[in-house]
Amino acid sequence: MATEFEDLLPVMAEKLDVEAFVYELCGEKKQKLWLKEGDLDGDGKLNETEFCILMVRLSPGMMEDAEAWLEKALDQELSKNPQLH
């Protein structure tokens, strides 16, 4: 018998700002590390773009998946429009 699982991560992310969300996931020590690494504009905060960039950098598997999705999408577009070859 399989147990159903409801992923509440999207709900948390929606209800919290980026800083509060990172704090909930990682605690204060890791939050400071992430902030230091991900704060591209130097304002002392992670905006949504900086957070996304940091997640991709910290999750190489995510990048591999993104590349595969991009390649698939490009192949589909090229097959629909042969003039682009």
The whole-number pLDDT of residue 85 equals 59
Write down the number of H helices and E strands in the chain.
4, 0
pTM comes to: 0.45
Neighbours of 62 (CB within 10 A): 12
Please state, in angstroms and as integers, the Cα–Cα distance from residue 41 to each residue in 21, 51, 59, 80, 85, following that order.
Answer: 20, 12, 21, 40, 39
Tens digit of pLDDT per residue, the chain (85 long)? 567 777 777 777 788 887 787 777 777 777 788 788 899 999 998 888 998 888 878 777 766 777 788 888 888 888 887 776 5
Which tokens belong to 85? 């070859």
